[in-house]
C-alpha cells in the first residue's frame, strides 16, 4: 500500500509539472503548480520529512503560489500572451536536460536501495533505506499502534484513555533544536536578509502620496 | 473497550492491508457525515437566530416551527440547473468548488474529536491545519478567475488578501499555546489539558504535571485570554464572516467569488464555508478550552463522551459566530487592515514574547 500511495503522489507531482511546462495558457501553468507542490509535500512525508512537508505547503502553496497567481492576474491581457518564445536554443536546452537527467540517474542508482537493520529482537532484516516501516512519521498513529510504546501513559494517568505516538516525535523537535543551536547564525542572517528584501520591495513599490492624497487619507482615518 | 476505531476494525477482520484501507475509508468518511449533519443544523440556526435577533419568526411553514427548512433548501439546490457562464474558463470554473472544499476538509484529518478518535495523529498537527488553508485560498482565486466576472474576481482578491493577512495574528495566537504545550500535535495538546477546567490552556495550561510550572502557570492566564481573543477575531476574518465579510459585500459585489455558481457547485462553496466555521471553532476549543476534556474532572469524561464535549464546544463557537454576524455591521477595508496590522499583530507579538519569557522561567 505504501508503494501505491507513493506512485499516486508521484503521478500528481509529475502531472502538475508537465502541465506547468507545456500549458499554452499561463494561468493554467500557475494553477497546476498547486498539484505539484501538493504531490511534493506527500513525497516529503513518505521520506520521513513531516515538518519539511508541511512547511513546503505553507510557504509554496500559501505564499509563493498565491503571489504568483496574483502577479499573473494583475498583468493586463494575460490570456493572450504567447509564453512559448524563442526556439533558437532548442538543441542546447535538450542537451542540458539530458545531461541533468543523466546526473540524477547516476545519483539515483548510486544510492543503495536497501540496507540491513536490526529489529528489536536482535534479528537483522533488509529494509528500504529511505522509508523504513518503523520510522515513518505517522507510524506511531493508528497504523501500527502495537509497534510503538505508549510513552505518555505514566505521565497523564488514566492509562486506558491515553494513546500516544510519542515514540516517533517527528523531525520538528530536532529541526527546532538545531536552528537555535548549531545553525543559529545562518538562521538569523537569512531572517535579516528576508526582512531587508521585504523592506526594499515595499520602498520600490511605494508611491509617495501627494499633499491632496494625504489630506484625504487623514480625513477618512479611523 | 477498544482503544479506538482502528482497533475495532482490526478485531473484526484482522490486521493487514485490508484493515488499513478500511480504516482510512472510515476515518475519512466520518467527519464528512458530521459536516453534512452539522451544516443542516447550522443553516437552520442561522435562519432562526437571525430572525429572533431581528424580531421575526423566521421559516415557519416547513415542518413544525420550520425545522425542515434546511432539508427543503437542500432538495431545491439538488434540483437546480447547473449553469456555466458562456465565457467562463471551464476547467478552472469547474475545479474551483472541489479545491475549496478539499482544502477545508483536509483540516478535519488532524482534529482530535475524542481521546479515541483522531483522523491522523500528525506531529505537526496545528501547523498542518494552518498550512492546508493555503489550498482553500488557491481554490478561491480559481473560482474568481474562472468565472470571468468582475465581481467574482474582485471578491476573490479581497477574500484572499484578507485570509492571508489574518493568518499572521492567528498564527501568533496559536504559537503561544504551542510554546506552553511544547508540541504541535493536537491530540497531545488535548491530553495535556485533562483533569478539569483549571488545566485548560486559556488558564495557563496543566498545573499538576512536571515541567509546566505548577501553580505558577496561573500567571499566564491574562496573556492567554488575549491570545484567545486574537484567535477568535482572526478566525472570523479567515472564514469571511461578518464583520469581516467585505469579500461578499452584497451591495458592492453581489456574492463575491461564488457569484456565478449555481446548484451543487454553489452548495459545495456553502458547505466549505460551514466546514471552515466548524474547523476554526474546533481549533479554538482544542487549543484554549480543553478540546474533548470535560470541564470538571470525573464529570462525564468517559472516552466516547469526549466527542460530545468537543462537538458541543465547537458548536457554541459557531453559535457565537452566527450571533456576531447578525449583530455587527461590516468593516471598511481600511478598518480591516488597521485592526489586523496595527492592533492584532502588535498585541500578538507582545503575548508571544511574554509567554515565551514566562515559559522559559517556569520550565526550570
Give the 3-state secondary structure percentages of chain B, helix then strand then coil, rounded to 5: 70, 0, 25
Asked if A169 contacts B123 with a C-beta cutoff of 8 angstroms, the reply is yes
B23 touches chain A (CB under 8 A): yes
Nearest-angstrom CA–CA distance, B219 and A35: 46
User: Residue B88, Cα to own-chain centre: how many angstroms?
Assistant: 31
Confidence check: pLDDT of A215 > 70: yes
Q: Do the bridges between strand B112-114 and strand B117-118 make them parallel or antiparallel, or are there none, so unpaired?
A: antiparallel
> Nearest C-alpha of chain B: how many angstroms from A124?
23
Given a cut of 80, whether residue B205 has pLDDT beyond it is no
* pLDDT tops 80 at residue B41: yes
What band does A195 get if pLDDT is binned at 50, 70 and 90?
A: very high
d(CA A185, CA A198): 20
Q: What is the pLDDT of residue A127?
A: 55
Closest residue in chain A to residue B112, using alpha carbons only: A163
pLDDT reading at B246 higher than 70: yes
Domains of chain B: which residue ranges?
87-362
- Over 90: is that where the pLDDT of A167 sits? no
pLDDT, tens digit (0-9, with 9 covering 90-100), for B248-307:
766 777 777 878 787 788 888 888 888 988 999 999 999 998 888 888 877 777 777 888
| pLDDT of B186 strictly over 80 | yes
pLDDT at B284: 92
Model confidence band, residue B353 (pLDDT cutoffs 50, 70, 90): very high
Q: What is the dihedral of CA A213, A216, A218, A220, to 10 degrees?
A: -140
Cβ atoms within 10 Å of A135's Cβ, excluding its own: 12
Nearest CA in chain A to B24: A143
* pLDDT at residue B351 in the model: 93
- φ, ψ dihedrals at B307, nearest 5°: -60, -40
Specify the 3-state DSSP secondary structure of B144.
helix
Q: Is A112 exposed, middle or buried (CB count within 10 Å of its CB: 0-12, 13-18, 19+)?
A: exposed
User: Can you give the pTM of this predicted structure?
Assistant: 0.81
- Cross-chain CB nearest to A66 (options B21, B128, B137): B137
Asked if pLDDT for residue A147 goes beyond 60, the answer is: no
Mean pLDDT calculated for residue range B335-352: 90
Contact B137, B164 (CB under 8 A): yes
Nearest Cα to A34, choosing from A52, A19, A23? A19
Beta-sheet strands, E only, within A23-154: 114-118, 124-128
Distance CA B24, CA A102 (A): 39
Cβ contacts of B342-345, under 8 Å, gap ≥ 24: B344/B166, B344/B169, B344/B230, B344/B233, B344/B234, B345/B168, B345/B169, B345/B172
| Average per-residue pLDDT for chain B | 84
Q: How far apart are CA B166 and CA B92, in angstroms?
A: 26
pLDDT, tens digit (0-9, with 9 covering 90-100), for B105-135 = 988 888 888 877 777 777 788 888 988 888 8
Long-range contacts of B17-20 (CB under 8 A, 24+ apart): B17/A1, B20/A1, B20/A143
pLDDT at A153 > cutoff 50? no
One DSSP character per residue, B291-340 reads TT--SSTTSS--TTHHHHHHHHHHHHHHHHHHHHHTTSPPPPHHHHHIII
By percentage, how much of chain A surpasses pLDDT 70?
66
pLDDT at residue A121, as a whole number: 63
Residue A114's SS3 state is strand
CB within 8 Å of chain A, chain B residues 80-119: 89, 91-92, 99, 115-116
Looking at the complex, report in whole angstroms how far the Cα of residue B166 sits from the nearest Cα belonging to chain A: 13
Distance CA B319, CA B314 (A): 9
Give the mean pLDDT of B24-34.
85
Higher per-residue pLDDT: A143 or B201: B201
As given in the structure block, the three cell numbers for residue A124 are 537483522
% of residues, chain B, pLDDT over 70: 96
By the 8 A CB rule, do A165 and A153 touch? no
Domain of A189 in residue numbering reads as 183-222
* Cα distance between residue B122 and residue A172, in whole Å: 11
| Count of other CB atoms within 10 angstroms of residue A36 | 21
Q: Residue A49: pLDDT above 60?
A: yes
Residue with cell 544510492: A111
Q: Which of A81-90, B86-95, B182-191 has the lowest mean pLDDT?
A: A81-90
User: How far apart are the C-alpha atoms of B69 and B56, rounded to whole Å?
Assistant: 16
Taking alpha carbons only, the member of A140, A143, A166 closest to residue A2 is A143
pLDDT at A151 over 70: no
Cell for B164?
492571508
Q: Which of B22, B92, B131 to mutate to test the interface with A (most CBs of A within 10 A)?
A: B131
Least confident of A45-54, A81-90, B314-323, B343-352: A81-90
Q: Are A164 and A153 in contact (CB under 8 A)?
A: yes
- Statement: residue A164 has pLDDT above 50: no
In this complex, which of B20, B120, B164 lies closest to A1 when CB atoms are compared? B20
Q: Tell me the residues of chain B between 210 and 269 that have a Cβ less than 8 Å away from chain A.
A: none
- For the beta carbon of residue B44, count every other beta carbon within 10 angstroms: 20
CA gap B211, B364 in Å, rounded: 7
Is the distance from CB of A138 to CB of A167 less than 8 angstroms?
no
DSSP state of B110: G
Best of A161, A164, A168, A213 to mutate (most B CBs within 10 Å, chain B): A161
Check: CB of residue B170 under 8 Å from CB of residue B238. Answer: yes
Identify the pLDDT of residue B262.
79
A172 touches B: beta carbon within 8 Å: yes
Distance CA A96, CA A85 (A): 18
* pLDDT confidence of residue A133: 43
DSSP bridge pairs for A116:
A126
Give the whole-angstrom CA distance, residue B338 versus residue B340: 6
Q: What is the spatial distance between Cα B241 and Cα B244, in angstroms, rounded to a whole number?
A: 5
From the list A63, A51, A45, A60, the residue with the least C-alpha distance to A2 is A45
Is residue A218, in this structure, part of any structural domain at all?
Answer: yes
Give the integer Cα–Cα distance in Å for B4 and A207.
59
Residue A112 touches chain B, beta carbons under 8 Å: no
Q: Span A159-177, mean pLDDT? A: 56
pLDDT at residue B15 is higher than 80: no
Reported confidence tier of residue B325, pLDDT bands at 50, 70, 90: confident
Q: Please answer yes or no on whether A58 and B160 come within 8 Å at the CB atom.
A: no
Q: Is A27 on the interface with B (CB under 8 A)?
A: yes
With a cut of 70, say whether residue A119 has pLDDT above it.
no
Quickly state the pLDDT bin for B172 (edges 50, 70, 90).
very high
pLDDT of A115 over the 90 cut: no
**Per-chain mean pLDDT for chain A:** 73
Query: Domain count of chain A?
Result: 1
Nearest to B223, CA basis, from B343, B320, B338, B353: B353
Q: What does the pLDDT read at residue A122?
A: 63
CA distance to partner chain B, nearest, from residue A47 (Å): 15
Amino acid at each position: 500500500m505504501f508503494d501505491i500511495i507513493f506512485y499516486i503522489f508521484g503521478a500528481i507531482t509529475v502531472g502538475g509539472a508537465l502541465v506547468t511546462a507545456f500549458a499554452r495558457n499561463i494561468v493554467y501553468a500557475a494553477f497546476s503548480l498547486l498539484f505539484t507542490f501538493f504531490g511534493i509535500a506527500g513525497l516529503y512525508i513518505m521520506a520521513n520529512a513531516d515538518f519539511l512537508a508541511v512547511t513546503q505547503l505553507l510557504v509554496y502553496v500559501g505564499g509563493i503560489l498565491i503571489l504568483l497567481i496574483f502577479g499573473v492576474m494583475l498583468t493586463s491581457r494575460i490570456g493572450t500572451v504567447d509564453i512559448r518564445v524563442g526556439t533558437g536554443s532548442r538543441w542546447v536546452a535538450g542537451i542540458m536536460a539530458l545531461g541533468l537527467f543523466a546526473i540524477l540517474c547516476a545519483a539515483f542508482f548510486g544510492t543503495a536501495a536497501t540496507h540491513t537493520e536490526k529489529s528489536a529482537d536482535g534479528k537483522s532484516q533488509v529494509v528500504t533505506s529511505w522509508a523504513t516501516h518503523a520510522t515513518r512519521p505517522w507510524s506511531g498513529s493508528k497504523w501500527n499502534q502495537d509497534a510503538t510504546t505508549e510513552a505518555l501513559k505514566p505521565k497523564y494517568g488514566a492509562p486506558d484513555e491515553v494513546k500516544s505516538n510519542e515514540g516517533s516525535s517527528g523531525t520538528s523537535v530536532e529541526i527546532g533544536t538545531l536552528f537555535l543551536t548549531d545553525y543559529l547564525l545562518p538562521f538569523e542572517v537569512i531572517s535579516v536578509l528576508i526582512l531587508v528584501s521585504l523592506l526594499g520591495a515595499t520602498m520600490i513599490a511605494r508611491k509617495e502620496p501627494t499633499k491632496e492624497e494625504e489630506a484625504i487619507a487623514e480625513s477618512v482615518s479611523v | 473497550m477498544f482503544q479506538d476505531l482502528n482497533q475495532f476494525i482490526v478485531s473484526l477482520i484482522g490486521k493487514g492491508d485490508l484493515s488499513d484501507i478500511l480504516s482510512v475509508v472510515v476515518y475519512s468518511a466520518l467527519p464528512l457525515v458530521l459536516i453534512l449533519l452539522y451544516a443542516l443544523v447550522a443553516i437552520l440556526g442561522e435562519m432562526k437566530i437571525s430572525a429572533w435577533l431581528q424580531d421575526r419568526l423566521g421559516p415557519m411553514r416547513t415542518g413544525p416551527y420550520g425545522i425542515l427548512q434546511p432539508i427543503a433548501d437542500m432538495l431545491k439546490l439538488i434540483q437546480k440547473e447547473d449553469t456555466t457562464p458562456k465565457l467562463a474558463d471551464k476547467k478552472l470554473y469547474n475545479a474551483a468548488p472541489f479545491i475549496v472544499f478539499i482544502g477545508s476538509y483536509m483540516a478535519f484529518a488532524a482534529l482530535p474529536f475524542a481521546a479515541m478518535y483522531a483522523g491522523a495523529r500528525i506531529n505537526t498537527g496545528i501547523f498542518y491545519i494552518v498550512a492546508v488553508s493555503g489550498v482553500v485560498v488557491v481554490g478561491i482565486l480559481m473560482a474568481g478567475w474562472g468565472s470571468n466576472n468582475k465581481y467574482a474576481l474582485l471578491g476573490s482578491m479581497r477574500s484572499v488578501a484578507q485570509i492571508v493577512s489574518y493568518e499572521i495574528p492567528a498564527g501568533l495566537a496559536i504559537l503561544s499555546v504551542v510554546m506552553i504545550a511544547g508540541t504541535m500535535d493536537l491530540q497531545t495538546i488535548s491530553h495535556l489539558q485533562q483533569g478539569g477546567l483549571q488545566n485548560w490552556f486559556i488558564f495557563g495550561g496543566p498545573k499538576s504535571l512536571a515541567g509546566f510550572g505548577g501553580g505558577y502557570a496561573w500567571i499566564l492566564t491574562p496573556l492567554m485570554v488575549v491570545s484567545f481573543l486574537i484567535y477568535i477575531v482572526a478566525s472570523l476574518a479567515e472564514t469571511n464572516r461578518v464583520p469581516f465579510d467585505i469579500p461578499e459585500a452584497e451591495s458592492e459585489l453581489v456574492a463575491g467569488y461564488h457569484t456565478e455558481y449555481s446548484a451543487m457547485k454553489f452548495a459545495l462553496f456553502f458547505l466549505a464555508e460551514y466546514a471552515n466555521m466548524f474547523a476554526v471553532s474546533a481549533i479554538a476549543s482544542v487549543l484554549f478550552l480543553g478540546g474533548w476534556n470535560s470541564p470538571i474532572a470525573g464529570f462525564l469524561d468517559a472516552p466516547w463522551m469526549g466527542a460530545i464535549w468537543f462537538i458541543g464546544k465547537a458548536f457554541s463557537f459557531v453559535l457565537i459566530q452566527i450571533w456576531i454576524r447578525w449583530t455587527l455591521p461590516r468593516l471598511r477595508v481600511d478598518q480591516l487592515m488597521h485592526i489586523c496590522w496595527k492592533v492584532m499583530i502588535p498585541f500578538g507579538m507582545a503575548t508571544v514574547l511574554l509567554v515565551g519569557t514566562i515559559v522559559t522561567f517556569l520550565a526550570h
